[in-house]
């Protein structure tokens, strides 16, 4: 059987997919709290902006995070349209290493102007040793690996995503 074709999420996904974040009259199924940061002992924040080919921030993208380290299976979703700087913001925990891989979070991007979603990964700056030997990171041309590694400041990890250009983020075919 053929695959049903993908089509863009369009500009108006918010009231269906992130309604409470955007203050629409429909209940959320998921939000940006993969864990509750007020009760979890070791929460982190994941933040970043998404840039288009003109280096302008994209205000109508939707980001999904998924992480599964065998112990914690966590999913979250956030649109870039409510933060004044068009950031995505998530509250989660750092996943553990699985089978010697560097810990990472799967990132799925949707936006107007993308006919099909994009997959990338977020790795952690403070995992230098595991990052150096990670099979997937080593498949990526050396000069582009840094596009996947979030910078750490306290408990906040920041990773900007570039859709195009010299700093274009590495996207994966899954």
Partner 1 sequence: MSDKILNRFDPEYQPAKLYEGYKSTILRAPSKPLVVIKQSLSELTGPIFGDMNIKPLDHDLTKNSVKNGEPMGERMVVHGKVINEKGQPIPHTLIEIWQANAAGRYVHKVDKHDAPLDPNFVGAGRCMTDAEGNYHFYTIKPGAYPWGNHPNAWRPNHIHLSLFGPNITTRLVTQMYFEGDPLLAYDPIFKSVSPKAREFMLAKFDMERTEPFYALAYRFDIILKGPNATPFESL
Of the ranges 84-92, 122-130, 150-158, 159-167, which one interacts with partner 1 (CB under 8 A)? 159-167
Instruction: Compute the residue count for the chain.
Output: 174
- Check binding of 71 to partner 1 (CB under 8 A): no
128-157 burial, b for 16+ CB within 10 Å, e for fewer?
Answer: eebbeebeebeebeeeebebbbbeeeeeeb
- Check binding of 20 to partner 1 (CB under 8 A): no
Size of the residue set binding partner 1 (CB under 8 A): 68
Closest-CA residue to 74 (of 28, 38, 120, 30): 30
Interface characters, 82-121, with partner 1 (x: CB under 8 A): -------------x--xx-x--x-x-x-xxxxxxxxxx--
What is the spatial distance between Cα 129 and Cα 30, in angstroms, rounded to a whole number?
A: 34
Query: Which residues make Cβ contacts (< 8 Å) with residue 50, sequence separation at least 6?
Result: 57, 58, 61, 63, 80, 86, 88, 109, 111, 160, 161, 162, 163
Q: How far is the CB of 142 from partner 1 (least distance, A)?
A: 13
- Check binding of 1 to partner 1 (CB under 8 A): yes
Q: What's the token pair of residue 15? A: 């009231």
Q: Which of 20, 73, 128, 153 binds partner 1 (CB under 8 A)?
A: 73
- Residues making contact with partner 1 (CB under 8 A): 1-17, 19, 22, 24-27, 29-30, 52-54, 58, 60, 66-70, 73, 75, 95, 98-99, 101, 104, 106, 108, 110-119, 135-136, 139-140, 163-165, 168-174
């Amino acid at each position: 059987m053929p695959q049903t074709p993908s089509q863009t999420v369009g500009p108006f996904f918010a009231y269906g997919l992130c309604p409470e974040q955007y203050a629409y009259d429909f209940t959320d199924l998921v939000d940006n709290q993969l864990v509750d940061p007020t009760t979890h002992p070791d929460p982190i924040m994941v933040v970043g902006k998404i840039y288009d080919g003109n280096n302008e921030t994209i205000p109508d993208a939707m980001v999904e995070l998924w992480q599964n380290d065998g112990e914690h299976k966590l999913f979250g979703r956030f649109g870039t349209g409510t933060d004044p700087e068009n950031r995505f913001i998530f509250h989660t925990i750092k996943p553990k290493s699985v089978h010697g891989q560097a810990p990472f979070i799967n990132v799925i991007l949707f936006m107007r102007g993308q006919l099909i979603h994009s997959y990338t990964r977020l790795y952690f700056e403070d995992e230098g040793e595991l990052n150096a030997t990670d099979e997937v990171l080593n498949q990526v041309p050396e000069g582009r690996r840094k596009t996947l590694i979030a910078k750490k400041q306290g408990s906040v990890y920041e990773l900007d995503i570039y859709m195009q250009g010299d700093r274009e983020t590495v996207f994966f075919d899954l």
